[in-house]
Amino acid sequence: MKKQPLWTKDFLSISIISFFLFMGFYILLTTLPIYILDDLKGNESQVGAIVSVFLIAAVLCRPFTGKWIDQIGRKKTLLFSLTIFFLSSLLYLWTDSFLLLLALRFMHGIGFGMATTATGAIIADIVPNERKGEGLGYYALFMNLAMVIGPFAGLSMIQYTSFHWLFMLCTVLSLFALLLSLFVHIPECIVPTEKEEKSTFSFASFFEKNAISVSIVGGILAFAYSGILSFISVYAKELGLLEAASYFFVVYAAAILISRPFTGKWFDMYGENKIIYPSIILFAIGLVMLSQADTTLLFLSSGVIIGLGYGSLSPSLQTIAIKKSPASKRGLATSTYFTFFDSGIGIGSYALGVVAVYTSFSSLYIVLAGVVLLSFITYYFLHDKKSTKEKVIQTEAEMTI
């Protein structure tokens, strides 16, 4: 049987739109703290507020976005969200006070949360069912590339030019994303059944119940990963390896680039457990290595192992969340997964910062390795064991027919 094509015009277009979105996100994530401290004469607490308010806005809007995607359509939701994202990027050019910046970050977070939820749902519809793991893995790769290129481009620009031109770059990237979305053919929504449409304002109308179990696992892993996102540069400075910190995410992305062509295909061929369990173990090993790092080689090697582990986990869990849900609720499944994911990052960034005050970063990463191993058990009871039981019941039912 001939394989359904994966690298279509629409698949590439949505992946590139996602790349532009995350490029703008990572450029501002790494440079706005400097803008607040140097240009706006702010302080460290204001830097934390700017990061938090963006994430809060994204988390708050995701459940609503999932509902809108499935009810009013993917194309309309995507265009509306990218318009908000573009206007937000443009308004940075005239933001000259902390309060204005805070309000703008909330607006920008809404655009980002809506747009990334919409692109995730659309890509789930575009990718053929038998190549879901492979397709969503490659889609996630565009986000990983933005994670490496964005900070490098942003920090390089502010060394040689002004924030005005940095904000112009972000505006151009968001404009490209908006224009590209106009030419994408998006599959029509699968109409929900009468039973699925019954609840209008309830938990079930904002969260897809079939996606919650793996989303919880994703949230736990995101909590652990937030310890790397938030503190890797501080930890590197403490170790006297600050120069190596800039290459940590480069080797992390390189590991993902090398492994992604295989892990996605293996997911589709051998099942999710053959990817999830080894990846959790690799992530935990990488955190232990990071906790013991005292040389550049060990520090960067941990980035490779974490890339192989965590880099495979997030797209795989998202794929499971989508495959377990009805086709008419893929938007809701996507928003459910990212709501738990963003919450894990947000809670982790704050909670681990408090913990770091009372302990060393080395001890912190050991603890996080334990948290990752906890997700191993959580995944087994919330998904693996339950899925095995469902398959047994289904097989028995088929045998009695």
Which of the 8 DSSP states describes residue 41?
-
Contact 33, 47 (CB under 8 A): yes
Residue 162 and residue 213 share a domain: no
What is the arithmetic mean of pLDDT over 280-305? 94
Residue 122 lies in a domain: yes
- The pTM (predicted TM-score) of the whole model is 0.78
As a whole number of angstroms, the distance between CA 283 and CA 262 comes to: 18
**28-37, 78-87, 186-195, 204-213: range with highest mean pLDDT:** 78-87
Copy the structure tokens of residue 45. Answer: 């607490």
Residue 215 and residue 180 share a domain: no
> Coil, helix or strand for 255?
helix
**pLDDT of res. 203:** 58
Contacts of 284 (CB under 8 A, 6+ apart): 309, 369, 370, 372, 373
Residue 79 and residue 46 share a domain: yes
Neighbouring C-alpha atoms within 13 Å toward the C-beta of 267: 31
pLDDT > 70 in the chain, percent = 90
As a whole number of angstroms, the distance between CA 222 and CA 345 comes to: 5
Report residue 401's pLDDT band, with 50, 70 and 90 as the boundaries. low
As a whole number of angstroms, the distance between CA 102 and CA 104 comes to: 5
Residue 202 lies in a domain: no
Contact 127, 136 (CB under 8 A): yes
Q: Which residue range forms the structural domain that includes residue 174?
A: 1-188
Tally the domains of the chain: 2
Residue 160 and residue 60 share a domain: yes
252/148: higher pLDDT: 252
Residue 217 and residue 134 share a domain: no
**56-60, 95-99, 323-327: range with highest mean pLDDT:** 95-99
Residue 237 and residue 152 share a domain: no
Residue 25 lies in a domain: yes
As a whole number of angstroms, the distance between CA 338 and CA 46 comes to: 26
**pLDDT of res. 260:** 78
Q: What angle do CA 222, 223, 227 make, to 5 degrees?
A: 105
Residue 175 and residue 216 share a domain: no
pLDDT > 90 in the chain, percent = 35
Residue 381 and residue 330 share a domain: yes
Residue 358 and residue 211 share a domain: yes
Contact 325, 70 (CB under 8 A): no
Residue 364 and residue 239 share a domain: yes
Residue 194 lies in a domain: no
Contacts of 90 (CB under 8 A, 6+ apart): 171, 174
As a whole number of angstroms, the distance between CA 374 and CA 355 comes to: 19
* Least confident interval from 44-48, 116-120, 228-232, 276-280: 44-48
Mean pLDDT rounded to a whole number for the chain: 84
Closest CA to 127 of 137, 117, 112: 137
The pLDDT tens digits for 344-355 are: 887 887 788 778
Residue 242 and residue 119 share a domain: no
- Read off the amino acid at residue 393: I
The pLDDT tens digits for 214-223 are: 999 999 999 9
Residue 232 and residue 144 share a domain: no
What CA–CA distances, in Å, run from 317 to 211, 221, 222? 9, 10, 12
Report residue 188's pLDDT band, with 50, 70 and 90 as the boundaries. low
**pLDDT of res. 200:** 56
Main-chain dihedrals φ then ψ at residue 314, nearest 5 degrees: -60, -50
Q: 41 — alpha (psi -120 to 50), left (phi > 0) or beta?
A: left
CATH number at residue 355: 1.20.1250.20
350/299: higher pLDDT: 299
Main-chain dihedrals φ then ψ at residue 277, nearest 5 degrees: -60, -50
Q: In the block, which residue shows the tokens 């390795």?
A: 369
Residue 298 lies in a domain: yes
**pLDDT of res. 217:** 94
